[in-house]
């Protein structure tokens, strides 16, 4: 399937869209997210976590298969996190990650949130989308809820990226 995705990049950018995840997507989302977690690139997710936060998730499907996912998780009255951003190997560099982040930012705007952040090891990706590096200590303490269970908690190598939703281009 990944070869088919790479064949026609122009039509894919037109044909694929970010959609709300459904119950039927969860098994594929777990495999996708946890494949990156096994490499230490993101936190693993359990089936229970994905079912509980299903309404946070957007997916990109190709021929019925989830090839990318991301979540917008509200952490406070004015702040949400883009998390669990994962694009299947072979489907990367097609703009799917950007598509998902834009969907998350649009949702944040719709909800009336002022800021969106991401914790990442790839800050350049988020900078291209208008995010700027931020001191994680300036974010709400709610940001730390998941940090405690991260194996890298005492030696975190992620960079906080922040976007002002109101000034971001729609």
Instruction: Report strand pairing: 115-120 vs 79-87.
Output: parallel
pLDDT reported for residue 10:
47
Report residue 111 as tokens.
């909800």
Q: Are 143 and 116 in contact (CB under 8 A)?
A: no
Q: Is CATH 2.30.30.180 what the domain over 2-164 is classified as, yes or no? A: no
Q: What is the pLDDT of residue 15?
A: 72
Which neighbouring-strand residues pair with 143? none
Residue 146: both structure tokens together: 């998941």
Beta bridge partners of 120: 159
Res 1: pLDDT: 44
How much is the pLDDT for 11?
Answer: 46
Q: Rounded CA gap, 136 and 115, in Å? A: 13
Global pTM? 0.84
For the chain, what is the radius of gyration of the CA atoms? Answer: 15
- Cα–Cα distance, 35 to 107 (Å, whole number): 26
Residue found by looking up tokens 């922040």 in the block: 162
Whole-number Cα distances in Å, 146 to 44, 75, 96? 11, 11, 25
List, for the chain, all residue ranges whose pLDDT scores fall below the cut of 70. Answer: 1-14, 137-157
- pLDDT at residue 156, as a whole number: 57
Per domain, the residue ranges of the chain are 2-164
pLDDT value for 141:
55
- Residue 86: per-residue pLDDT: 97
């Amino acid at each position: 399937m990944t070869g088919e995705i790479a064949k026609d990049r122009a039509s894919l950018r037109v044909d694929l869209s970010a959609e709300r995840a459904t119950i039927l997507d969860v098994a594929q989302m777990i495999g996708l997210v946890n494949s990156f977690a096994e490499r230490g690139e993101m936190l693993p997710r359990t089936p229970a976590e994905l079912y509980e936060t299903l309404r946070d998730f957007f997916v990109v499907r190709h021929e019925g298969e989830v090839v990318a996912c991301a979540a917008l998780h509200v952490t406070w009255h004015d702040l949400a996190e883009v998390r669990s951003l994962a694009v299947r190997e072979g489907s990367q560099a097609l703009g799917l990650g950007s598509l998902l982040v834009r969907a998350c930012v649009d949702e944040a705007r719709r909800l009336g949130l002022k800021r969106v952040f991401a914790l990442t090891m790839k800050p350049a990706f988020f900078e291209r989308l208008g995010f700027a590096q931020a001191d994680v200590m300036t974010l709400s303490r709610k940001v730390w809820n998941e940090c405690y269970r991260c194996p890298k908690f005492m030696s975190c190598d992620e960079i906080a990226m922040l976007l002002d939703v109101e000034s971001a281009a729609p």
